[in-house]
Structure 1
C-alpha cells in the first residue's frame, strides 16, 4: 500500500496527515461519533468514500446544517421504503430534506389517513433497528431506466437530466439526479440483501441506525413537479433530529408556534381577516388591526424622513413598457398578475415600486450635489403567488411595501449600504426584534441566463455588500444563487421569541435598472454619469411584518402598538361614568382606551381584557371614586391599588412613549 497525504480541517485549522491507499472518509473520525459524513474538497461525501491523495477533508456533524439535511434525507428514504413495504402499489416521486424536516411524494390509489402514518412510523422503526447500510453505486441512464421501469416519475427525472432541465424539474429534484454521473442508493441488510433502492445523488448516513429520533407529522396533496397541470400526489411530511431531546424541543416549538399562529390570533383579537369574496392572499384590516398598521406606518415614515428619505407616491398599475425597462417582465413575469388591456395597451398591476421611482428620478436633470437621493413610499404591490403557498399575512398576493431606493454615485455605495443596514437593524430593534444574522445572496454562475450584467458589475456589487455586512459584526451566511436577477443582496434573518427565523429587511445593489431607464446625473467634471441604485425594504411588507410581530409577541403587543392600551373596568354600573371621565383624560393624553360597561361580573371583565391582551386595566369601585383613584392592573396580573388617576395616566404615557416591551 502506498502513502497518501490528506489535510484534515477542523474549526478553520488544517492538519496534514498521511494515510494509506484505500482509507475511507470515516477513518479519520472514528473517535467522533457525531460525524456522519465528510466534506471532501468542498463536496459532501458519504463516510464510505475512499480518500485520494491531496484531499482536504472535514467532518460533518449530525447537528450541523449539512448534517441535518443528510439525516433528514436519509429518514425520507427510510419512510419511502416503509411506504412501499406497506403499500406496494405506491409509486415514488421525490423526497428532499426541507427546513426542520423532510417529505416524500407518492402516487397512491387512496390518500393516506392518520392511521396509515402510525403504521408507517412503526415500519420505519423496524428498518432503523435493522441497521441497514446506505450503499452508493454509479449507474448509467440506460441501466437506471431498466431498473426503475416501474417507477414512472423516476423515469421522467432521468429523462429531464438527459435534456439538461433537471434543475428546474421540481423542488428537490436535484437531490434525486443532481449533475454529472447518475447514482442509486441501496438500503442493504446485514446479510448483504438489498432491501430497497432509490435514485439519489446522496450523501446519506452510514446506516439507518444513525437516525436517533424522528416523527411523521402530516400528509398533504402536492402536484408533481409543483405544476398544477400535473397529477396530484400524496406528500408525507416528517422531521428528524440528532437526539430525542432535540426532537422534543422541536415539537414543543411547534406547539408554541400553533398557539402563536397569527391567523388564529388575528381572528381572536379581531385584527384582520381574509374574505373568500376577495380572493386568496388578500387581507382586510379591521379597526384594531388598522390601529397597529397605522402606528407602524406613521413611525416608519417618520424614521425614513429622519434618515434623509423623501416620501413619494406612485400608482398601482402601469403600461407594460415600464416593466420591460426595469427588466421585470423578461425575468419576473411569472410573479406578476396577467395584463389588462385598456385603450389598446397592456397594463400590469405593479409587483414592485422601483420602476416608478426611476421615473421620478428621470423626471428632470440631476446633479451629483443631490446624491444620495433617497425616495421612499408605502407602495401597494401585487404578486401572483400560487394558491398552495399563500399563508395568512406572511405570504400574500396584495401587500404594502415600505420600499425605498437610494440613487448614489459608485463612490458612495459603501457608505450608503452601511447607512441602510444600520437603519434596518435599528428599526427592527425598535419593534422588539433584536436577534439576527445576515445572509449574502449572490449570482449562480452556472445559470448566467438568469442574471443580467457583466462579471465586473457583479464582482463590484458583491464586494461592497460583503464588506458592509462583515463590518456590522453580525454572523454572515452565504446564499449562492439567491440574488435577484439585477444584483446581489443582503437580507436580515431575524429570530423571533421562540427561535424561528424570518427573512425581513433586504438591501440590494442594482446596476441594471439605472441602465435600462437611462438614468443620469451631472458629475462634478460636467460629464453625464450613471448612478447606482440601492433597493431597501425594512420590513419587506407591512402585512408580513405584522404577521411576524403577532407571532413574536403572541398577540400581546407592547403598549405603544396595542390597539387598546387601557381597559376601564367598573366594579358596578354606578362606577361607569367615573371611568368614562378617566377615559377622556387618557384620550387627551393620546392613549387608546375603552370602558367595559357590559353586565359581566368584574372578574369576567378582567378575563376578557386579558384575552384581548390589553396592556393595562384601570378598575374602579366606591373607594376609588371617593379617592380619585383606580386599581392599576398590568397584563401579567400584577395590581397596584389606590393609584391616583394622575399617576395612573402618567404610568401609561411613560410606557407608551418609551416603547417599553411591557
Structure 2
C-alpha cells in the first residue's frame, strides 16, 4: 500500500488536492470554515466546520463533482508571503485560521491562491489545479476539533490523488481488497465478535463462534508450550500501584495505563502487562541453579489506554489477551533458551503458513533518559548479549534505535499483512533490569546468590491481534481445525421426515466425534441456505437428499466450490479428522 506521506511527489500532489477539495466545499457551502488539511500516509484529509450540515454520500458526490470543475479550469496556484498582521486580517472571520496564525511567528507566513480561493499553508503545492484531476474522496467521519472531546465535532473528509488515472485505479482496487479483508467486516459476517460503545470503545466481546476460534488458538499454543516445559499460571487483572512502581512501569508506562482505583486506602490499576505478577510468582520460592530455566506462561488479560483514534476491532483494543511467558535463566542459558523461543516462533509460523516477516533487533535510544531505565552498563551488556545470540543463530535482522522496551532490548518479528503496514506479531525481550528490581535470586553451584536473567516472550503476541491477522490473511477462510463451524448440514427439503431424521443422525454422529457441525433446516430454498453458509466461510457444506438418506452417505462440497463429492459417513469423518490433525492450511 502506498504511503503518501513518505513519497515527496505524492505528498505535494495530495496537499494540493486537499486545497482543491476545500475550494469545492467553499463553493457549495460558503459558510464552511477549515481547520487543517494535512497529508497522511493514507492520502489527505481536511477538517471542516459545516455548521449544522452533515457530510453523507450525496454530499461527497457533490463535492467530487465541484472538484472536477475546479481541476478542469486549471487555475494557477500561487504562493505568497504575508506578515502575521496581514494574515490575521485576511482570515479575521475564521476562528480556526486565527487559532493557527496565533501560534506562528511573525514573518514568512505563507498563503496559497488558486482562483477565488486562498488558504493558509506552508506548502509546497503543484503549479496548477489541473494536475489534481486524478482524485477520489474515500471516506468521511466526525472528529473533535483538536482531538479534544470537550470541543465540538468537525467533519473530516479523506481523499487520495495520483499523477495518472491508472495509478488511481490501481490504488482504489487495493482499497477495495483491503475492505474485503478487513477483519471487522469478516468478523461481523462470521459472527465472531462485536463492540458496543455502551460497553466501551476498544473493549471487544467475543461471540460464541469467535470464542471457539479464540479457544482453539489458546489450546494450540499452550499445548506446544507444555511440550517445551512451560508451567502455566493464572494471575489477577489488577495490581497495586506499588507493584508497578517497583517494576518501573509506573515511571515509564503510566500514560498508557488506566487511571488508579482507590480502594480501602490502596491504589490499584488494571494491569497493562504481566511481568510484575510473574516476578512475584518466581519470588514465592527459593531457587537453585538446578531449577533453572523456569518457564512461566499465561494467557493473560491486559488493559491499555490506547488513544481512541488508534482502536481497530480486535487488532488494537484497550483489552486484549497476551500469549505471554517469562523465562528465568542463568546467563549461561540465555543463548539456548533464546534459540528455543526463536524455533517456537518459526515453527508456529510454519503451521499457519506465515512467510512474509522480518526480524528487528530493537534497541534503546541512549539519549532518551526518560523512556528507558537509566543504566548504561546494563543496556550495553544486554544489547551485546542479544546481538551475539542473533549472530550465533544466523538470524538475519535489522537494528532499530528507540524501539526497545524500557527495561531491555528485544527481537521483534514483524509481519507484513496482505493489506496495510507491517506490525509486530511475536517478540522476545532480554531483561537484566526487572529481576534486580524485584530482588530475584537463585543459588549457584558455589552456594552464592545470583540474579537470574529474564526472557519476556510472546509467540502469538495477543490472541486477539493474531486472530485479526489470520482472518485478514485468509479472508476468513480459516483452516478446518480453526473454523468455528467445520461442517454445515443442509437437507435439500425440510418437510421430508426420512431426510430430516438422517440429517439429525449425521449431526449427532459428527458431534460425537468432536466435529463442530451445525444443521440448517429452515424453510428457505437450498440455494439461499448455501449462499449464507458460504458468506460465513464454513469449510464443508453437506448437501443431503433422499439418495444420501437411503444409502447412509454424505455429499459434500468445499467452501467456494460448486462440485459435490459423495462418500460414506466413515470416509467423510476420517477425511475431516486427518485434515484437523495435520492442521492442513486452507487454500
One fold, TM greater than 0.5? yes
Partner residue, 2:42: 100
Q: Structure 1 residue aligned with 2:552, among 622, 628, 631?
A: 628
Moved more, 393-402 or 454-463: 454-463
* Structure 1 residue 655 displacement after superposition: 1.4
Task: Tell me, yes or no, if structure 1 residue 365 matches structure 2 residue 305.
Answer: no
Deviation per CA, 1:253-278, whole angstroms, max 9, x where unpaired?
22223233333333332222224442
* Structure 1 residue 654 displacement after superposition: 1.4
Q: Structure 2 residue aligned with 1:449, among 362, 370, 380?
A: 370
Moved more, 639-648 or 652-661: 639-648
Contact 2:4 2:43 in 1 (8 A): no
Deviation per CA, 1:362-399, whole angstroms, max 9, x where unpaired?
11223333333221101111222343433322222222
Partner residue, 2:517: 593
SS in 1 for 2:160: strand
Contact 1:438 1:469 in 2 (8 A): no
* Structure 1 residue 301 displacement after superposition: 0.8
Moved more, 595-604 or 377-386: 595-604
* Structure 1 residue 401 displacement after superposition: 1.2
| Distance in 2, Cα, partners of 1:595 & 1:279 | 34
Contact 1:111 1:234 in 2 (8 A): no
Unaligned residue ranges in structure 2 (runs of 5+)? 92-96
| Distance in 2, Cα, partners of 1:602 & 1:145 | 72
CA gap 1:96/1:520 in 2 versus in 1, 3 angstroms: farther
| Distance in 2, Cα, partners of 1:111 & 1:70 | 34
Task: Tell me, yes or no, if structure 1 residue 332 matches structure 2 residue 253.
Answer: yes
Partner residue, 2:221: 300
| Distance in 2, Cα, partners of 1:147 & 1:420 | 63
| Distance in 2, Cα, partners of 1:516 & 1:626 | 72
CA gap 1:275/1:132 in 2 versus in 1, 3 angstroms: closer
Deviation per CA, 1:494-517, whole angstroms, max 9, x where unpaired?
233456634322333333322322
The CA RMSD measured in Å over matched residues stands at: 3.9
Contact 1:91 1:152 in 2 (8 A): no
Partner residue, 2:330: 409
Deviation per CA, 1:284-321, whole angstroms, max 9, x where unpaired?
22222221111111011111222332211101112211
| Distance in 2, Cα, partners of 1:600 & 1:378 | 42
Task: Tell me, yes or no, if structure 1 residue 79 matches structure 2 residue 18.
Answer: yes
SS in 2 for 1:482: coil
CA gap 1:529/1:205 in 2 versus in 1, 3 angstroms: farther
CA gap 1:582/1:329 in 2 versus in 1, 3 angstroms: same
CA gap 1:66/1:500 in 2 versus in 1, 3 angstroms: closer
Partner residue, 2:571: 647
Moved more, 417-426 or 334-343: 417-426
CA gap 1:468/1:374 in 2 versus in 1, 3 angstroms: same
Deviation per CA, 1:209-256, whole angstroms, max 9, x where unpaired?
887954332333334553434565443323345754443233212222
Aligned length: 569
| Distance in 1, Cα, partners of 2:334 & 2:165 | 48
Partner residue, 1:528: 449
| Distance in 2, Cα, partners of 1:121 & 1:445 | 49
Contact 2:14 2:43 in 1 (8 A): no
SS in 2 for 1:545: helix
SS in 2 for 1:449: coil
More relative contact order in 1 or in 2 (CA 8 Å, sep 6+)?
2
Partner residue, 1:55: none
* Structure 1 residue 411 displacement after superposition: 4.6
Instruction: Provide the TM-score with structure 2 as the length reference.
Output: 0.83
* Structure 1 residue 640 displacement after superposition: 4.2
| Distance in 1, Cα, partners of 2:36 & 2:242 | 40
Contact 2:4 2:39 in 1 (8 A): no
SS in 2 for 1:568: strand
CA gap 1:236/1:384 in 2 versus in 1, 3 angstroms: same
Partner residue, 2:94: none
| Distance in 2, Cα, partners of 1:478 & 1:183 | 39
Contact 1:358 1:517 in 2 (8 A): yes
CA gap 1:210/1:122 in 2 versus in 1, 3 angstroms: closer
Partner residue, 1:219: 140
Unaligned residue ranges in structure 1 (runs of 5+)? 1-61, 138-142, 163-181
Partner residue, 2:406: 485
CA gap 1:410/1:222 in 2 versus in 1, 3 angstroms: farther
Partner residue, 1:166: none
CA gap 1:90/1:184 in 2 versus in 1, 3 angstroms: farther
SS in 2 for 1:539: strand
Deviation per CA, 1:31-52, whole angstroms, max 9, x where unpaired?
xxxxxxxxxxxxxxxxxxxxxx
CA gap 1:64/1:356 in 2 versus in 1, 3 angstroms: closer
Moved more, 632-641 or 287-296: 632-641
Superposed counterparts of 1:277-292, under 5 Å: 277-292=198-213
Partner residue, 1:610: 534
CA gap 1:524/1:245 in 2 versus in 1, 3 angstroms: farther
Task: Tell me, yes or no, if structure 1 residue 154 matches structure 2 residue 100.
Answer: yes
Contact 1:433 1:495 in 2 (8 A): no
Moved more, 82-91 or 281-290: 82-91
SS in 1 for 2:280: helix
* Structure 1 residue 435 displacement after superposition: 1.7
Partner residue, 2:64: 118
CA gap 1:90/1:508 in 2 versus in 1, 3 angstroms: farther
| Distance in 2, Cα, partners of 1:626 & 1:156 | 84
Contact 2:19 2:119 in 1 (8 A): no
SS in 1 for 2:157: strand
Deviation per CA, 1:319-371, whole angstroms, max 9, x where unpaired?
21101111222222222222222221111111211110111111122333333
Partner residue, 2:267: 346
| Distance in 2, Cα, partners of 1:109 & 1:363 | 62
Partner residue, 1:395: 316
| Distance in 2, Cα, partners of 1:229 & 1:487 | 38
Contact 1:213 1:244 in 2 (8 A): yes
